[in-house]
Amino acid sequence: MTDGNRTAFVFPGQGSQYVGMGQALCDRFPEAGAVFDEAEEALGFGLRGLCFGGPDAELNRTEHTQPAILTVSVAALRVLEAQVGVVPSWVAGHSLGEYSALVCAGALGLADAVRVVRQRGRLMQQAVPEGEGGMAAVLGLEEPAVRELCEEAARGEVVAPANLNGGGQVVVSGAREAVRRAVQLARDRGARKVVELAVSAPFHCALMTPAAEGLRQVLEDVEVRPLRMGVVTNVEAALNADPGRVKALLAEQVVAPVRWEESVRALAGLGCEQVIELGPGRVLSGLVRRIDRSMSTSNLEKPEDLEKLGAEAEA
């Protein structure tokens, strides 16, 4: 497998982190260790210790979580590039994962990316005082129904669909009490399951406007290079290959819903046949399977995953 002309790489977002992530790749592959070296130098703190040993409370702090997941994802990417040699035709990422996708596409350097997402995490955390926002996953209702119940639950406050994940899964985000009203309405209207999420801030809604404004300033001095392949963006669920649009899309992404189902369908429409998830967890692989079973899925977060991908390449 030297050419992924029908392959997309996808990269996970916040929530996929766990203590121990990336350690097995670093222990076995120098390419992964080099990624951690570069990220640690850029950030000025020991990312290895945080990813490999925790504690959970520190890893789950948004300003730590975001650079940690990005670093593990890029470590998996560099191992795959070196060991198997597959080159994707397209890339996409879920929220934070879009930064990993942009590193893969060559638009962002790793050092810049980890510094930006650390600031992004801080800005998102600071936008709403802790405890005043919330998020909840609604399963078994389609997006139009969830949007309607959010409008009814708002009562002058912010609550709106934030992650349009597909497979009947929509995450809502907003002011805490408005989210709780939306949760009750979803249950009343026959949602299969509703889960309030343990998050530190209400991501991807209008309450994140201060974070979006701050992120625009952070991105001002960041170099965006020409893209080696197009990125299916969260904001538009469409392919972007224009480096001049990257910063505006990343800033808007903070307040806009993650259009993941549409992004996966866009990849299918482009002719994608194989999706490889790079980084911690398998959340995106599961969502892809629920959205469009015509595309095969696999993931790489540990050395044994690479062996499976290598065997597929030789088949």
2 pLDDT above the threshold of 50: no
Q: How far is CA 227 from CA 75, 102, 117, 261, in A?
A: 19, 8, 19, 23
Task: Tell me the per-residue pLDDT of 164-198, one tens digit each, with 9 for 90 and over.
Answer: 999 899 999 999 999 999 999 999 999 999 999 98
Query: Which residue has 């910063």 as its token pair?
Result: 247
311 pLDDT above the threshold of 90: no
Q: What share of the chain is helix, strand, coil (3-state, %, to 5)?
A: 50, 20, 30
Question: Using alpha carbons only, what angle is made at residue 133 by residues 45 and 94, rounded to the nearest 5 degrees?
Answer: 60
The Cβ-side half-sphere exposure at 50, using a 13 Å CA radius, reads: 24
Phi then psi for residue 160, to 5 deg, are -160, 160
Active site residue 94: no
Strand, helix or coil for residue 26: helix
* Per-residue confidence (pLDDT) for residue 309, from 0 to 100: 85
What is the value of pTM for the model shown?
0.96
Task: Tell me the per-residue pLDDT of 25-76, one tens digit each, with 9 for 90 and over.
Answer: 999 999 999 999 999 999 999 999 999 999 999 999 999 999 999 999 999 9
DSSP 8-state class, residue 236: T
DSSP 8-state class, residue 258: B
* Per-residue confidence (pLDDT) for residue 313, from 0 to 100: 60
Task: Tell me the per-residue pLDDT of 94-141, one tens digit each, with 9 for 90 and over.
Answer: 999 999 999 999 999 999 999 999 999 999 999 999 889 999 999 999
* Per-residue confidence (pLDDT) for residue 198, from 0 to 100: 82
Question: Using alpha carbons only, what angle is made at residue 59 by residues 53 and 62, rounded to the nearest 5 degrees?
Answer: 170
- Res. 314 pLDDT band, cuts 50 70 90: low
1 pLDDT above the threshold of 90: no
* Per-residue confidence (pLDDT) for residue 108, from 0 to 100: 98
The active-site residue out of 16, 73, 94, 204 is: 204
Task: Tell me the per-residue pLDDT of 234-267, one tens digit each, with 9 for 90 and over.
Answer: 999 999 999 999 999 999 999 999 999 999 999 9
Helices 62-83 and 110-127, axial angle in degrees (round to 10): 150
Q: For residue 91, give the nearest of 83, 100, 82 by alpha carbon.
A: 100
Q: How far apart are CA 188 and CA 209, in angstroms?
A: 31
The active-site residue out of 16, 73, 89, 95 is: 95
Q: Can you read off the two tokens belonging to residue 200? A: 């530190």
* Per-residue confidence (pLDDT) for residue 200, from 0 to 100: 83
* Per-residue confidence (pLDDT) for residue 239, from 0 to 100: 98
Active site residue 204: yes
Mean confidence (pLDDT) of the chain? 95
312 pLDDT above the threshold of 80: no
- Contact between 70 and 114 (Cβ < 8 Å): yes
